[in-house]
Amino acid sequence: KEKLEGTSIILSIVETTHANHAFEIAKSVELGQYQGWVAIGGDGLLFEIINGLKARSDWSTVAASMPFAVLPAGTDNALATSLGIWDVMD
- Host H or E run for residue 65: helix 59-65
Residue 19 phi/psi, 5-degree rounding, is: -60, 140
Q: Helix 43-54 crosses helix 21-28 at what angle (to 10 degrees)?
A: 30
Rounded to whole angstroms, how far apart are CA atoms 72 and 77? 6
Q: Does residue 44 sit in helix, strand or coil?
A: helix
Rounded to whole angstroms, how far apart are CA atoms 8 and 13? 15
88 has a pLDDT exceeding 70: no
Residue 37 phi/psi, 5-degree rounding, is: -125, 145
76 has a pLDDT exceeding 80: no
Q: What amino acid positions are annotated as catalytic residues?
A: 43
**pLDDT tens, residue by residue, 33-60:** 888 888 888 888 989 999 999 999 999 9
Which of 15-19, 43-47, 74-78 has the weakest average pLDDT?
74-78
pLDDT at residue 2 in the model = 74
